[in-house]
Amino acid sequence: MRQPLPLMSGHMDFVVLGQQIVNGLVNGMAYVLIATGLTLIFGVLRIVNFAHGEFYMLGAFITYYIITLMGVDYIWAAAIATVVVAGLGILANVLFFWPLRKEHEFTILLSSLGLALLLTNGGEVIFGADPKYIPSPFSEEIVELGDIFVTQQRVLVFGVGVVVLVALYYFIKNSTMGKMMRATAQNPEGAALTGINIRKVHAVTFLLACGLAALAGALVGPTAMIFPTVGSWAVLKGFIVVIMGGLGSIPGALVGGLLLGVIESLGGGYISLGFAEAIGYAIIIVVLLWRPQGLFGVARKA
């Protein structure tokens, strides 16, 4: 049924290639933002948090409601939503993850799965099952880089993503809390012994991670429609990137996320759209079999 691409000048082919790569990078940055939070929680706290995607969903929905119910501008709404959900993250920690910290990792994993189900279905009941659209002034405005078209919203996703990641990197490297987080990541018992307030580390980690997820939701939301079940999509992508990049590695999340985005875009564009996701998975399988600890990960001692 499909005709081959008409052979216009080679220029056109390059334009399409460039467009697909740009698309991939933007999608990839969304994955990076989601994955970074997830990898933080795993790296520092050794928790596999299935409910992570739900904070992405909440970020998107709270942004929507702040704009439509309170008439606030998009940028402010996104910022407020990020802060609110970061706070909800701390609440989730206090209610679920901190009390369970001594349990078997399966228990924590399963209760996070339950939390995810609760938030998704609760979201359906409270927000309604109908899809919604976050009205952002950037989503329809197009930026032209030569022959390549990108909406301002997508540029925003990429730009803010880079800024936030750089900020996070310096925070973890240089600040006191950052050092405490790294110490906890390396050796939880040792860290506690040297007097690090693990409780505070827990709280800050969740604050950062859920804030990142919410920011991703608020930024990426306007590029499509939002609905309460988008959380499971987000957490799935997040996990794939985290594992590929290496559990607990932020550079890994960055490279892994962008790589996944570009692979999906190119695979879909040049091989087959239907198999775009499958190609992504295939690449991940190859990476994992070659380097089980992920691209930047440290080999985990069982």
Binding status of residue 276 toward other proteins by CB under 8 A: yes
Angle between helical axes of 176-186 and 10-45 (0-180°, round to 10): 80
Check residue 128 for interaction with other proteins (CB under 8 A): yes
Are the C-beta atoms of 199 and 98 separated by less than 8 Å? yes
* 110 scored as a contact of other proteins (CB under 8 A): yes
> 79 burial class (0-12, 13-18, 19+ CB within 10 angstroms)?
middle
Q: Is 170 in the site for other proteins (CB under 8 A)?
A: no
Q: Which is nearer to other proteins, 196 or 296 (CB)?
A: 296
Question: What CA–CA distance (Å, rounded) separates 219 from 96?
Answer: 27
First to last CA, the chain: 52
288 binds other proteins (CB under 8 A): yes
> Per CB under 8 A, does 14 bind other proteins?
no
Among 11, 106, 146, 195, binds other proteins (CB under 8 A): 106
Residue of 114, 137, 159, 190 that binds other proteins (CB under 8 A):
114
Residues 180-219 that bind other proteins (CB under 8 A): none
Which CA distances in Å does 281 have to 50, 84, 125, 245, 278? Answer: 19, 34, 33, 13, 5
Q: Which of residues 214-273 bind other proteins (CB under 8 A)?
A: 223-225, 227, 229-230, 232-233, 236, 239-240, 243-244, 247, 264-265, 268-269, 273
In the bound complex, what is the minimum distance in angstroms from residue 72's beta carbon to other proteins?
20
User: Is 142 one of the binding residues for other proteins (CB under 8 A)?
Assistant: yes
Measure the CA–CA gap between 92 and 104, rounded to whole angstroms: 18
285 binds other proteins (CB under 8 A): yes
